Amino acid sequence: MTTHENRLCRLIVREHFGPIVEKVANVLIRRGRMPVGPIANFTALKPRQVRECLFVLIQHNLAVYAESQEKSRIVTYYEINRTELLHRVLIPKVLHSSQEWFERDGALITESLLTHGKLTITDCVADVLKTSGVAPGKTTTQRTQSLTKAFTRMVKEKCLIAVRPSDSLTAADKDMAEEKRETDKMTLPPTAAELASIRKVLGAQKQAEQNATIVGLKRRLDTMDDGYGEKRPRLLTDGDLVIVEEVETDVYFKVNFDRFIIRWRNVQIANLYEARLNPTAKTIMQTIMNLAEERMINCKEEHSSPVSIMLLLNSLPKDTNLIDTLEFDPSDLGPNNTKPKIHECLDRYIQILEDDLMKILKKDAGRSGQYIINLKSASQILKKNLIQGIVSARFGAPYVRIMNMLADKGKLEEKQISRFSMMPVKDVREKLTTLCTFGVLNLQEVPKTKERTPSRTYYLWEVILPRAADTLTDRLYHTMGNLRQRRFVERSKRAVLLNKCERTDVKADDSLLNAAEKKELETLNGVLEMLEIQELRIAEMVITLRDF
């Protein structure tokens, strides 16, 4: 991991949990996994304090552990969960999305879980009732039912996931334990091919388990009072039983950042077609993504699950205008100028989306009338567009032209780039050097002879998108660390004023602050808000480059 990433992780822990927990996290970030004893030696803290800090990190899903048999004793090693820690910069965006998707109750539930790390549904509802209270005109029972309904919906849509005891172990340790369990069944040591086959089977089983059921959600028959003090199953008008889903009260849940990132990516993919075609194309793509989202696990999948035309037609919003947003040839309308039906217009839209140069939507080869989304190509397009925007804002359009040329044609020499871009060789050399220093381009040396002299060597320039994304991600980590450090500096400059504002008498009566202090406090809030907005914008760029 890079220095900038380590620094950002350390600053996140300091802001969210304080300087003592930061010491423990900093040792684990810099030195890797280790037991409590060495952590106490490196931090100069007491073992009891180290255990309390580790408890806080484990409670918030930021630390994992692994037990190892060493001679006659079992030693527990602790390690920082970097992925979960870096996701905490997205908390403002997660809260906003929860408010948008699940209304105010969803935002309050998400805030409670992010504050406490993991909670059961009973504890979460009680905490929300304690902090937000009951709205006028509603009883506590009605408020509890509303929060329970919102919590259940978030679990069904996988925005909240159950926390199992195995989640406190590292993913590598769990994979190695499963591999060892399979290899122990074999009489001879496995070959490389057999080991690869075992890993493939275990990966398929893991994916099937994630798609099979939702942990912590159970189904039961809905009951009603029969008038004699007994409960009986509720029936629909056609005689079918009513089955309801409810969350188990003894299961702990946490916020699933991966599900939020998947939804944000799906929205960005749909927005590509709004800029390229029209809003109706965006609506169609967004509906396809919503139908396929249930079986999505993470953003690294190459394809979505197939979606049929009939299911898509029935799932489109009612206000979708498919007919008036298409242009028809008069010869196709007939003598009565009759426009095609809705399903024919949808077929034409699907054909347009399939023939688009981005090649994101395509037919499923094994199933007739069903389509899938090429998520890998869509993610590559989103990354490429973001990198182009950064290069254009930093250096200008000529640099973007050179980058696009190399991305389309592959490896080229300076003279070839100069000829294709119609720019002097001197200017091209300067721009290539700038882009290479920035981390967007790579230089490949191909010697003609064994001596490798510069005069007898080809110098080929190319764009490697994953490497460029990693380089820009590290630069963005550096910028985010600077913004977060600036917030600490701004607060430290006004520490006396902030301490005064924390007093109970000042909170009760703000007239105890004079005009100069109020103005200074307003200035501080404005600066902090601006820094937080800038950091959130950069965090959105990091999501695209790192997670998509």
Q: Is the pLDDT of residue 99 over 90?
A: yes
**pLDDT grade, residue 309 (50/70/90)?**
confident
Q: Is the pLDDT of residue 212 over 70?
A: no
Could you read off the pLDDT of 410-445 as tens digits, one per residue? 888 888 988 888 888 899 999 999 999 998 998 888
How distant is the alpha carbon of residue 145 from its chain centre? 30
| Domains 3-80 and 259-373 fall in the same CATH topology | yes
The per-residue b/e assignment along 19-52, b for 16 or more CB within 10 angstroms, e otherwise, is: ebbbbbbbbbbeeebbebeebbebbebeeebbbe
Q: Which residues contact 239 (CB under 8 A, 6 or more apart)?
A: none
Average pLDDT over residues 509-531: 88
Amino acid 90: pLDDT? 92
Q: Give the torsion through C-alpha atoms of 112, 117, 122, 127, to 10 deg.
A: -30
Distance CA 9, CA 27 (A): 12
Q: Which residues contact 478 (CB under 8 A, 6 or more apart)?
A: 4, 7
**pLDDT grade, residue 211 (50/70/90)?**
low
- In this structure, are residues 411 and 426 in contact, taking their beta carbons and an 8 Å threshold? no
Q: Is the pLDDT of residue 57 over 90?
A: yes
On the 0-12 / 13-18 / 19+ scale of CB atoms within 10 A, 468 is buried
Amino acid 1: pLDDT? 67
Amino acid 208: pLDDT? 65
Tokens of 308: 């049929």
CATH number of 396-463: 1.10.10.10
**pLDDT grade, residue 238 (50/70/90)?**
very low
Average pLDDT over residues 473-488: 93
Could you read off the pLDDT of 318-364 as tens digits, one per residue? 888 887 777 766 666 656 666 777 888 888 888 888 888 888 888 88
Q: Is the pLDDT of residue 113 over 60?
A: yes
Partners of 51 in the β-ladder: none
Number of helical H runs and strand E runs in the chain: 23, 13
H/E stretch holding 245 reads strand 243-247
> Comparing C-alpha atoms, which of 17, 88, 57, 19 is closest to residue 536?
88
Tokens of 535: 């950091």
How distant is the alpha carbon of residue 332 from its chain centre? 46
CATH number of 259-373: 1.10.10.10
Amino acid 194: pLDDT? 80
In this predicted model, which residue has the larger pLDDT, 424 or 210? 424
Neighbours of 259 (CB within 10 A): 19
In this predicted model, which residue has the larger pLDDT, 58 or 169? 58
Distances (CA, A) of 192 to 176, 195, 215, 284: 15, 5, 34, 45
Distances (CA, A) of 511 to 6, 491, 495: 43, 22, 19
String of DSSP letters for 400-461: HHHHHHHHHH-SB-HHHHHHHHT--HHHHHHHHHHHHHHTS-EEEEEESSTT--GGGEEEEE
Q: Is the pLDDT of residue 546 over 70?
A: yes
> Out of 135-139, 159-163, 212-216, 432-436, which region has the weakest mean confidence (pLDDT)?
212-216
CATH number of 3-80: 1.10.10.10
The per-residue b/e assignment along 115-125, b for 16 or more CB within 10 angstroms, e otherwise, is: eebbbbbebbb
**pLDDT grade, residue 242 (50/70/90)?**
low
Q: What does the radius of gyration of the chain's CA atoms come to, in whole angstroms?
A: 29
Percent of the chain with pLDDT over 70: 92
H/E stretch holding 221 reads strand 217-221
Average pLDDT over residues 500-510: 84
- In this structure, are residues 329 and 352 in contact, taking their beta carbons and an 8 Å threshold? no
Amino acid 362: pLDDT? 86
- In this structure, are residues 68 and 62 in contact, taking their beta carbons and an 8 Å threshold? no
Amino acid 210: pLDDT? 63
Residue 319 φ/ψ, nearest 5 degrees: -90, 10
> Out of 163-167, 519-523, 526-530, which region has the weakest mean confidence (pLDDT)?
163-167
- The CATH architecture one would assign to domain 88-174+207-255 is Orthogonal Bundle (1.10)
Q: Is the pLDDT of residue 203 over 80?
A: no
pTM of the model: 0.86
Distance CA 420, CA 434 (A): 19
- In this structure, are residues 322 and 342 in contact, taking their beta carbons and an 8 Å threshold? yes
String of DSSP letters for 247-281: E-TT-EEEE-HHHHHHHHHHHHHHHHHHHHT-HHH
- In this structure, are residues 112 and 124 in contact, taking their beta carbons and an 8 Å threshold? yes
Strands 217-221 and 63-70, by their bridges, are unpaired
H/E stretch holding 25 reads helix 19-31
Query: E strands along 256-376, which residues?
Result: 307-308, 361-363, 370-373
Amino acid 8: pLDDT? 93
**pLDDT grade, residue 300 (50/70/90)?**
confident
H/E stretch holding 243 reads strand 243-247
Q: Which residues contact 525 (CB under 8 A, 6 or more apart)?
A: none
Q: Which residues contact 4 (CB under 8 A, 6 or more apart)?
A: 474, 475, 477, 478, 481
- Domain boundaries along the sequence of the chain: 3-80, 88-174+207-255, 259-373, 396-463, 469-547
